[in-house]
Structure 1
Amino acid sequence: MMIGDMHKYNEEKHLYPPAIQQGLEQIVSRNLAAQKPGRYELDGQMMYALVQEMSTKPAEEQRAESHMTYADIQLLVSGEEKIGFSRLSAELEMADNQLAARDVAYYKHSHDESEIVLKPGMFAVFFPEDVHRPCCHVNGEKHSIKKIVVKVHRDLWG
């Protein structure tokens, strides 16, 4: 997992893998923050973006998830969002395996979960070994959020 801030992107972009740089640059060059919710093709099935608008929920109502084929770049456009994070382990019990159909697995409980809070302009990158619980309330408060999730196919990682 990686955390960054678009306000510092030009200073820090050399630290990110090329595929992550490409995804972040696509967000900016295509002005995805101004787009309506939906799916936007960036590089066919190799990289695409989901522009989402939703309300956060209590963490206990959100399911922890992971992916095997795509890494997620989750950039917050507006609002505040807490994301729980843990590493994939044998201790996690899968509740719903949709990896073959939708590249997502949901878990009953996430052990040893850490939390990050995203504010506008911040992003988190989740790789397949990263279990994440997105769209959670911050300080117990509901927030309306807009975010961009860029899906980066594993074949682009190098």
Structure 2
Amino acid sequence: MIFSDLTNWEREQHTFPAPIRRAIERLQQTELDELPAGRHEFGEPGMFLLINEPVTRDWREVKPETHRLHTDIQLLLSGRERMRVAKVSEEQVITDERYETQDIAFYDEVHNENTIDMVPGDFVVLFPTDIHRPNCSVEQDIPLRKAVVKVHRDLFAT
């Protein structure tokens, strides 16, 4: 997992994997406020953009998830979000596995979760080894607007 923000991006970008750098550069070049919610092509095979507009919920109501094929880059555009994260391990048990059809699996209980409070401009990069519980409330339930780039694992092999 990587946690950063667009302000520090210029100093840190050399440490990021190439497909993540390309995706963040595209995010910066895209008029994200003008895009409607939903899926958008993102200028490169194996990469697409989702504009999500969820309402945050108490963390106990949000199922932790992982992806096998895609790395997520989640950029908060508006609102405040608490993201809970943990590492995949043998003690973490998948209870609803949908990798083949939707590239997602869910967990009922996750051990050793950490929290990250995000404000607009913050982003996280969540690799397939990162369990994440997105869209959690910081203090109260509020609407969010997020850009989520899905980067296919094949892009990391080049």
TM-score (norm 1): 0.95
Amino acid at match of 1:10: E
**In structure 2, C-alpha distance between the alignment counterparts of 1:33 and 1:71, rounded to whole Å:** 23
Structure-1 residue corresponding to 2:154:
155
Q: In the alignment, is residue 53 of structure 1 matched against residue 45 of structure 2?
A: no
**In structure 2, C-alpha distance between the alignment counterparts of 1:41 and 1:19, rounded to whole Å:** 15
Equivalent pairs, count: 157
Give how far 1:34 is off: 3.1
Give how far 1:43 is off: 4.1
Q: What are the superposed Cα offsets for residues 2-34 of structure 1, whole Å, 9 maximum, x if unpaired?
A: 011012222221121111011111112122243
SS of the equivalent of 1:144 reads: coil
SS of the equivalent of 1:57 reads: coil
TM-score (norm 2): 0.95
Structure-2 residue corresponding to 1:142:
141
Amino acid at match of 2:142: H
Structure-1 residue corresponding to 2:66:
66
Structure number having the greater strand percentage = 1
**In structure 2, C-alpha distance between the alignment counterparts of 1:154 and 1:29, rounded to whole Å:** 23
The change in CA–CA distance for 1:60 and 1:113 in structure 2 (over 3 A counts) is same
**In structure 2, C-alpha distance between the alignment counterparts of 1:48 and 1:22, rounded to whole Å:** 12
**In structure 2, C-alpha distance between the alignment counterparts of 1:128 and 1:10, rounded to whole Å:** 25
Amino acid at match of 2:50: L
User: Is contact 1:92-1:108 (8 Å) kept?
Assistant: no
The worse-fitting range, judged by mean Cα deviation, of 10-19 and 83-92 is 10-19
Q: What are the superposed Cα offsets for residues 74-94 of structure 1, whole Å, 9 maximum, x if unpaired?
A: 000000000110000111221
**In structure 1, C-alpha distance between the alignment counterparts of 2:34 and 2:76, rounded to whole Å:** 12
Give how far 1:73 is off: 0.2
Structure-2 residue corresponding to 1:34:
34
Q: What are the superposed Cα offsets for residues 64-119 of structure 1, whole Å, 9 maximum, x if unpaired?
A: 00001000000000000001100001112212111001100000111110000110
Structure 2 regions of 5+ residues with no counterpart? none
**In structure 1, C-alpha distance between the alignment counterparts of 2:82 and 2:97, rounded to whole Å:** 24
RMSD in angstroms over aligned alpha carbons?
Answer: 1.2
The change in CA–CA distance for 1:44 and 1:11 in structure 2 (over 3 A counts) is closer
User: Is contact 1:27-1:33 (8 Å) kept?
Assistant: no
Amino acid at match of 2:126: F
Alignment of 1:3-18 (within 5 A): 3-18=3-18
User: Is contact 1:65-1:107 (8 Å) kept?
Assistant: yes
Q: What are the superposed Cα offsets for residues 46-71 of structure 1, whole Å, 9 maximum, x if unpaired?
A: 00010011110000000000001000
Structure-1 residue corresponding to 2:83:
83
